[in-house]
A and B are shown apart, each in its own frame.
Chain A
């Protein structure tokens, strides 16, 4: 190998940014579709917007295989324990997108049975507004999340959960 070849074939970086780069382009979403937003989320996956272009096409219906929870739809008081459980089953690192008005704030459903925003109980990284959001909106949210994944620091991971 010539010295010139070596120059053009070696890239120096930090492990952190290399890992974050990998993570951000291979988010595996776990869709938690409970209402109309869940239907709209199918359009996000379909050919026109196709989030495979962002490396997020591997939809997993097992929380243990995914690192991005997409809450699409209203969450009732009966569903919230399930959602919390699924969130806790996801391995670190993990992120959450609240898709639509209902998941973010409860939307128009200001009643005893609807959680007024899942961020009251689980951490949400990106909120996508709309009722339902257009697929482009979800893609925008995904790009925003990718930027967030980029900034994650290894030194911030605490060894004790929820510290």
Chain B
């Protein structure tokens, strides 16, 4: 069991950074301040949690939380098969935090996805551009205040016709 030791280590080393530790479905969740994510992630990586399984984000607009956005890192230890979740909170007015790309290369596309869909930017990311939506897309559709049916993006294309006079043909 790696995890209890590391969690105490994190709490000792960064007492003001660790906002809370909770458990859900038998897995530990560590809530931290967004701007210190690299310090915490590096500590985990150097202590056995070598694999970044996923990065995702949460918009806490209606859920409530420490801040509006949480960037969620799922780590896995290949040694002990333990998993841990790290939630890094970022405020709404400055949705920015350091990129984990320097620690795990796999963070590259996942951070682009979060940037595209949530509008959270990652400092130090080598190529922070949209990955899913078209390049000229406006807005960040997974934010809870984005309308589900969009802002007319899906209606905004030229109408093409056949080179045949269809009305006369019918």
Which residues in A have some Cβ–Cβ distance to B below 8 Å? 77-78, 80-81, 84, 87-88, 92-94, 110-116, 120-123, 151-153, 155-158, 160-163
Q: Which of B46-54, B58-66, B106-114, B141-149 contacts A (4 or more CB under 8 A)?
A: B141-149
Chain B residue nearest to A116 in the complex (CB): B154
**25 A–B contacts from the bound complex (CB under 8 Å):** A77-B133, A77-B134, A77-B153, A80-B157, A81-B157, A88-B160, A92-B163, A93-B162, A110-B149, A111-B148, A111-B150, A114-B154, A115-B154, A121-B160, A122-B159, A123-B161, A153-B168, A155-B168, A156-B164, A156-B166, A156-B169, A157-B163, A157-B165, A161-B163, A162-B161
Complex Cα distance, B109 from A73, in Å, reads 25
Alpha-carbon distance between A116 and B152 when the two chains are bound, in angstroms: 11
Cα-based distance from A112 to B132 in the complex (angstroms): 13
Q: Which residues of chain A come closer than 8 Å to B137, judged between CB atoms?
A: 77
For B153, give its contact among A113, A162, A163 (CB under 8 Å).
A113
B148, A121: Cβ atoms closer than 8 Å: no
Scan B59-89; emit 1 where CB is below 8 A from any A CB, else 0: 0000000000000000000000000000000
Q: Is the interface of A mostly helix, strand, loop or mixed?
A: loop
Residues of chain A lying within 8 A (CB to CB) of residue B123: none
Decide: B163 and A162 in contact? CB cutoff 8 A.
yes
On B, residues with C-beta under 8 Å from A are: 132-134, 137, 141, 146-151, 153-155, 157-166, 168-169
Q: Are B162 and A162 in contact (CB under 8 A)?
A: yes
* Cross-interface CB contact of A156 among B133, B157, B160, B168, cutoff 8 Å: B168
Q: Which of B146, B155, B160 contacts A87 (CB 8 A)?
A: B160
Contact residues in A for B132 (Cβ distance below 8 Å): 78
Which residues of chain B come closer than 8 Å to A94, judged between CB atoms?
162
Bound complex: CA A155 to CA B150 (Å)? 43
CA distance A124 to B70 in the complex (A): 44
B162 touches A112 (CB 8 A): no
Please name the 3 residue pairs, one residue from A and one from B, whose CB atoms are nearest each other, closest first: A112-B150, A162-B161, A161-B163
Cα A120 to Cα B62 with chains together (Å): 35
